[in-house]
């Protein structure tokens, strides 16, 4: 199914470019025949439906924003570094090329980065590189998305939250058998969605290889609290014992937390009328080929 989605997304991208070109040509014409007008109206309805099916309707009517993931680990001076890369299908919208530093809140040392950018094939990506051993010594509390809602997958489990520039957040949830990570990035252009549909989480959960992941949007009426988040359960690829190998004391301090984590694999989907309004605004951003920006 994932291969079919990728192929369909590529076809829709080509179709979108053709549609925009034809529409601009028709708009520049002083006179349009009745047949041309009817064709463009009917095709517009068809195209909107097709885009919504691809972005927010593939596989059981759930959005498939995340299309692939890569997870790698490396031991650097007894610390475990994690690299997590996710390809995202945002239609005709594009991320800015930007890197947000991950700063340890106590030592103020750089312990990683979160990168956003454009990948090949009209896709966008989020990449996290982090010293998990250094961050694992921080105390875990209940984490929230920037809009105040529950984090998908992670839910109400004790979570290490690291504040990033532009009000972005990094989440790490650990137990003896669970390693989950997440990144939330407020997007300026999504503030208008929050004004129309505030307080919403839209996160489908899917399995990609040995990773269970979700990518979607969160909204709020407050400016700067609307955006995109990616969360993944990488427990089958990342060992908690490797993360804590050089942190014996913090391991003991977090023992109670390590024993009480249970992830929530249910998708978060808004009411149907909210979905329809979100779809319409996402389509408008796609029609404008919006270049997304951070706060």
Q: What is the pLDDT of residues 148-182, one digit of tens each?
A: 999 999 999 999 999 999 999 999 999 989 999 99
Span 271-289, average pLDDT? 94
pLDDT at 230 over 50: yes
Q: How confident is the model at residue 231 (pLDDT cuts 50, 70, 90)?
A: very high
What span, in angstroms and rounded, lies between the C-alpha atoms of 146 and 151? 9
pLDDT at 9 over 80: no
Q: What is the model's pTM?
A: 0.78
What span, in angstroms and rounded, lies between the C-alpha atoms of 14 and 54? 13
**Does residue 86 contact residue 131 with C-beta atoms inside 8 Å?**
no
Of the segments 29-38, 258-267, 273-282, which one has the largest average pLDDT value? 273-282
Model confidence over 99-148: pLDDT tens digits? 999 999 999 999 999 999 998 777 899 999 999 999 999 999 999 999 99
pLDDT at 23 over 80: no
More confident residue, 233 or 18: 233
Query: In 118-262, which residue ranges form alpha helices assigned H by DSSP?
Result: 132-135, 191-196, 240-243, 248-253, 255-258
What span, in angstroms and rounded, lies between the C-alpha atoms of 172 and 161? 7
Average pLDDT taken over every residue of the chain: 83
Give residue 135's Cα distance to chain centre.
Answer: 21
Q: Which among 165, 168, 140, 166 is positioned nearest to 154, based on CA atoms? A: 140
224 conformational bin, left if phi > 0, alpha if psi -120 to 50, beta if neither: left
Domain limits of the chain?
A: 2-61
């Amino acid at each position: 199914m994932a291969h079919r989605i990728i192929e369909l997304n590529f076809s829709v991208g080509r179709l979108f470019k053709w549609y925009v070109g034809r529409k601009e040509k028709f708009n520049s014409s002083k006179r349009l025949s009745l047949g041309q007008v009817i064709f463009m109206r009917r095709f517009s309805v068809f195209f909107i439906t097709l885009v919504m099916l691809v972005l927010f309707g593939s596989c059981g009517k759930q959005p498939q924003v995340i299309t692939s993931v890569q997870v790698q680990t490396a031991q650097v001076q007894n610390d475990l570094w994690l690299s997590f890369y996710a390809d995202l299908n945002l239609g005709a919208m594009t991320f800015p090329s930007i890197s947000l530093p991950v700063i340890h809140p106590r030592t103020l040392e750089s312990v990683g980065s979160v990168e956003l950018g454009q990948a090949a094939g009209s896709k966008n990506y989020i990449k996290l590189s982090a010293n998990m051993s250094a961050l694992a010594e921080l105390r875990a509390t209940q984490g929230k998305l920037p809009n105040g809602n529950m984090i998908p997958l992670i839910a109400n489990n004790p979570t290490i939250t690291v504040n990033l520039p532009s009000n972005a957040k990094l989440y790490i949830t650990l137990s003896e058998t669970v390693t989950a990570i997440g990144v939330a990035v407020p997007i300026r252009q999504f503030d208008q969605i929050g004004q129309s549909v505030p307080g919403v989480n839209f996160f489908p959960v899917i399995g990609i290889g040995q990773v269970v992941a979700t990518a979607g949007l969160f909204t709020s009426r407050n400016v700067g609290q609307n955006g995109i988040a990616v969360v993944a359960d990488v427990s089958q690829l990342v060992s908690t014992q490797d993360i804590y190998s050089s942190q014996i004391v913090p391991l003991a301090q977090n023992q109670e937390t390590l024993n009480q984590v249970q992830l929530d694999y249910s998708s978060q989907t808004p009411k149907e009328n909210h979905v329809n309004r979100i779809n319409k605004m996402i389509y408008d951003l796609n029609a404008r080929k919006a270049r997304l920006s951070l706060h």
